Structure 1
């Protein structure tokens, strides 16, 4: 026998599998895993993509078997060996898989997109998702997803560029987007628009009848006709924010006359016509939220008795915060709130002329948030005050947030005020969850008492409190941090106490 034939016979005797058998065993292992995850007859099938494996109901297309690599044709054998090997049956060819994204129902895809839009806004996600495939384009084009829009003027902050030309170019694109995407728009914010505010708001009034909130930040050129046109075309518009924008007072007054009693929220910053705007509001009580930032009200003294206006019977939030010293007094506050029993939030930060006695006379009985902090003022300018127990005696049963930062109440006064939270009649625990005592004369015993009385306290600010020991003058967030502060205060107190 020839030496080559002897070596081939030895290989056959050892049982070394050929390459085709090894490939077949690998394919059988893969089929075992596929059958383990989605067995035949279970009503599920698998879809494989680049980074995930989906198990979907209903039987899917038959998986294509992996093709073995092509080999050079072997020479045909003659005789009985050739007849013993049957030819394999040809496998049917399948078309390319369209992908798992096309198999998700359109309603489910719209709901998934809605969750992302609710957290991050419609842009730029919907614009990018529309480029994936036709199904995603169809889902991203649903007007129900385009309910919030923020438009920053192009070339904003670049004085060297032609901003008016860039705004006009963007307006051309919005002429198609408004009827096709923003027909169900509800909240619109414009930032740094200077020349094309009127044409843009005209588009909104023509194609967005469901608008409820309009915010104009650092915008110019808002005329009375623009706001009146918007108020007539959008019957659900109830909130207007024009802080830091150049808006004529006549435009605001005309808008309030047209909007009527449906107005709920109004945000304004101080201007020379603020008194006229507030006067118009007093004659037409309609708002539930009124924010007048940096207000400088200088009423002229008059010898005649001032007749009270109808006030704001439906007012729930009032903000008169100011970053500088203003002249809002107890008299002005009483004129605004003399008929507001449903007030829930009162923000008087920076209003140094407001006293606890003036707040005690307000008609609201269930105030939940009271902000009296004095920020940006030197300790030399803070006067010593008394009367803080009047605040907690009236609202300790309903207060959830209390801010006394920078107030000059003495130690005994603060102790009596915060002790009211431990003696609430008819209630096991007070609802207080946020307390800001930054820069006050609060003592360790007073802080430990209020922490023990308010187990729901989640925020406590003790920065710059001169009567507290070192290491504890900071802000605490969370119940664990506040309990740690209580333990440290109890160990620092003298044994006699």
Structure 2
């Protein structure tokens, strides 16, 4: 035998189990080989190694001994295979029929699914989410079909703004869908907005009157063909309807007047666009048609009318007194509208005012005829006013504002944007505004006002000496285009830790690089640091 072969044979003999160990398992052989009994060592088997440890080892499990004896009694593999072939095989039992897994969407309880859908609808509206969710599975279709989720809906034809023929076809197609959708989904509808309906508005409103008994708010934007019979039918079929918005729609004044007369005392909010027919609608309001009206807004459309609106202030106060303040504050807005109060005359007694008026907005970009005398007539008997927006009203003076009866004004907007009356403005008097409302004022807009540097310094100094040592509530300050100085701005920022918005654009007395708008507490504090550490020279 060759030397290499002899070494391999000896290696096999030395490493292989002895001949008498055929009846024992390989595990028993290695156990006795590495840690024989009486040697004072025991064998510990881990995941990837065998450890020889000193001391007596644990008693081997009975299962290992049973497995070794069972291996000795088993016949050889060939005999087992032959026996298995000779033994008859039993018929396989039919597998139970299992349907497809419905998935996690079907296992969510309907109540929880409704709450999840309700949160999404409150954030983004019911469409198109509910329409897409109804196609997922039967459970989601059942949840998306609940009328409680369809409380606010906006309907607009998909081809709005295109050719007349295509728009009419799209309206008919959408109307066919609404004929089955409204009875099954809109039974609890509360707010409805219709946009760009030209030819099928009457059938849609008829469906609404038949399927939406809980409707409270209706908005018609860029809609045509609104007749008196349509709105009157809607007012009778929806006993909870109290708000109507017909801005930028072609609606006959007789239709709105008929609606107001039918709704009567339950009318709360009304939005109009100024036109030659607005006087007829205001006439109905002056006749105490809607004594509980809380919000009245009249704005200017795209095609402006040069004739100013004659507003009888005292008659409006008597027709819409709102004597008992409700949960919704009374609001009067005449937006971007050229109007003037109707001359009172000597024989006209002062009106009762608006006792619960909290917001008055007379903002506009055109020539304004609002003066101190007109403002005092409007706000007579209005001690609860919180917001006063007079942007563009260049004829209002600080003295007239100081004489107003409101004592807790929170928002005051006096900015001038693109007006030509800037040269006739008063150059002093701003301290009369700030010292009166410094303890309650949260937003102040003096953009474009021509007050002098010293006048603004005295006015803004009111926020550094609030009563009781408490910090002022001012959080928004617009000084765009004014003559405010760097020392005045730094004093205001230091005295108002809650200031979150500061506009210093086009302020000629400030250093270069700081004339911009600051949003957020970090940017406002950065501005303060630059004013305190930077050069004080103005550009």
How high is the TM-score relative to the length of structure 1? 0.76
Q: Indicate whether 1:441 and 2:483 are aligned.
A: yes
Q: Trace 1:12-411 onto structure 2 (pairs within 5 A).
A: 79-83=79-83, 93=96, 95=98, 96-159=100-163, 161-274=165-278, 277-278=281-282, 280=285, 282=316, 283-286=319-322, 288-299=330-341, 301=343, 303-377=345-419, 383-411=425-453
Judged with a 3 Å threshold, the aligned counterparts in structure 2 of structure 1 residues 303 and 248 are, in CA distance, closer, same or farther, namely: same
Q: Deviations over 1:44-63 (max 9, x none)?
A: xxxxxxxxxxxxxxxxxxxx
Judged with a 3 Å threshold, the aligned counterparts in structure 2 of structure 1 residues 302 and 111 are, in CA distance, closer, same or farther, namely: closer
**Residue in 1 aligned with 2:461?**
419
Q: CA–CA distance in 2 between the matches of 1:175 and 1:471?
A: 61
Q: CA–CA distance in 1 between the matches of 2:382 and 2:422?
A: 35
Cα contact 2:511–2:535 (8 A) shared by 1: no
Shift of 1:117: 0.9
The CA RMSD over aligned residues, in Å, is 3.1
Instruction: Point out where structure 2 has 5 or more consecutive residues left out of the alignment.
Output: 1-15, 17-76, 287-315, 323-328
Cα contact 2:391–2:417 (8 A) shared by 1: yes
Q: CA–CA distance in 1 between the matches of 2:369 and 2:485?
A: 31
Of the structure 1 ranges 451-460 and 319-328, higher mean CA displacement relative to structure 2 is found in: 319-328
Judged with a 3 Å threshold, the aligned counterparts in structure 2 of structure 1 residues 454 and 363 are, in CA distance, closer, same or farther, namely: same
Judged with a 3 Å threshold, the aligned counterparts in structure 2 of structure 1 residues 406 and 262 are, in CA distance, closer, same or farther, namely: farther
Could you say what secondary structure the match of 2:194 adopts? strand
How high is the TM-score relative to the length of structure 2? 0.71
Shift of 1:305: 3.9
Judged with a 3 Å threshold, the aligned counterparts in structure 2 of structure 1 residues 345 and 262 are, in CA distance, closer, same or farther, namely: farther
Shift of 1:144: 0.9
Shift of 1:370: 1.8
Cα contact 2:333–2:362 (8 A) shared by 1: yes
Q: Is the radius of gyration larger for structure 1 or structure 2?
A: 2
Aligned residue pairs total 421
Q: CA–CA distance in 1 between the matches of 2:381 and 2:344?
A: 23
Q: Deviations over 1:433-481 (max 9, x none)?
A: 1111111221111111111111111111111111111111111111011
Cα contact 1:146–1:182 (8 A) shared by 2: yes
